[in-house]
Amino acid sequence: MPRPIQAHINSSAIRHNYLVAKRFAASGANGAKAWAVVKANAYGHGLFRIANALRDVADGFALLEIEAAIALREAGFQHPILLMEGFFDAEDLAACIAYGFTACVHQMYQLQMIRKAQPAVPMPIYLKLNTGMNRLGFVPEQIPALRSELAQNPAIGSVTLMMHFAEADGERGIDWQVKEFAQMCTGLDHPVSMANSAAIINFPQTAHDWVRPGIMLYGSSPFADVSAKQLELTPVMTLTSRILAVQKIQPGERVGYGGTFVATRPTRVGIVACGYADGYPRHASTGTPILVNGVRTQTLGRVSMDMLACDLTDLPEADIGAPVVLWGEGLSADEVAAAAGTISYELFCALAPRVPVVEI
């Protein structure tokens, strides 16, 4: 019999969340299109699982890995596909041209590579402008040379101007980057893509032509102080397991490696078939929320490779075989992640291959 841990992926939820993102975007720019961001194996949810769920509603798919983009195209997806880090060498560029991908271009050498490749059909690109994130993109001093290259490069097709917000979910906000972007775009009259999940929700005026919803597609909030439920987002992944053993300990007894939890009262300890080898965060300490029989309780002690402990003292009906929700339906992944000192992105992406996935 297999271990009872499973990840349940709700395909109707991903469609719902995509349409929520479109609705937020429409409040700022009616008709704005949305890239469904499916990088990192669709944030750990399964690329084809998510792409198939969105096949009839997505305007396009955005990701990083060219192999994944090729796989989508060869599986029959004719949607626009955006490579968010662009191409890295001539072989990647050839694939972009052959499969009709749109590539993010953030270095001058990439434009020169496109010119040298002489594609039969001019290649669509996203020009990444660095407005303060300081990861990828052209800086203001490069804009004159960029304008010149675009004007003289017949291999370049449609151009979209792109930037990425660094603090759309924080106190500093977006105005400083919007101002920089506007200055850099002077003389460049092209469609625009600015908004990530946080900006789509908080600053829909930045929606413009294309938005890029990521974490919100998977039912998590991009904000620490606003829940996914408040944003009408539905969890897509629910990680479940069961109680496989129950221990009864007395005050002063300890639980788990290092004995980091010390009982202060007679305590019923439930042992759950889930550990860090399944993708549960090892650094989740005592007090991380968990649902047993649909009732909220907490973890106890350190997470082991294959098991974790939880408090059943106030759940007398919970015994061996009781169902457990680690995160998802009924227990936000955002809350679990915050208690573990991380973010829901990491929880989703860390789901281990050994965990069976069930589509619902």
Number of domains in the chain: 2
CA 49 to CA 109: how far, in whole Å?
Answer: 35
Predicted confidence at residue 39, as pLDDT, reads: 98
Q: Out of 39, 126, 280, 345, which one is annotated catalytic? A: 39
Predicted confidence at residue 296, as pLDDT, reads: 98
Asked if 50 and 135 sit in the same domain, the reply is yes
Structure tokens that stand for 17 in this block? 């969340």
In Å, how far are 4, 263, 292, 312 from 266, measured between CA atoms?
28, 7, 19, 11
Q: What's 90's domain CATH number? A: 3.20.20.10
- Residue segments in the chain with a per-residue pLDDT below the cut of 50: none
Predicted confidence at residue 282, as pLDDT, reads: 96
Q: Which of 218, 252, 281 is the last residue of a domain?
A: 218
22 is catalytic: no
**pTM beyond cutoff 0.85:** yes
Residue with tokens 């060498």: 89
Predicted confidence at residue 123, as pLDDT, reads: 97
Please count the residues of the chain.
Answer: 360
Structure tokens that stand for 239 in this block? 């990680």
Residue 78 lies in a domain: yes
Provide the residue range defining the domain that includes 132.
11-218
DSSP sequence for 153-202:
-TTEEEEEEE---SSTTSTT-SHHHHHHHHHHTTT----EE---HHHHHH
Helix, strand, coil percentages for the chain (3-state, nearest 5)? 30, 25, 45
Predicted confidence at residue 205, as pLDDT, reads: 94
Each residue's pLDDT tens digit, 152-170: 999 999 999 999 999 898 8
CA 7 to CA 18: how far, in whole Å?
Answer: 21
179 is catalytic: no
Predicted confidence at residue 171, as pLDDT, reads: 84
Predicted confidence at residue 100, as pLDDT, reads: 97
Predicted confidence at residue 2, as pLDDT, reads: 86
Residue 232 lies in a domain: no
Asked if 136 and 178 sit in the same domain, the reply is yes
Predicted confidence at residue 317, as pLDDT, reads: 95
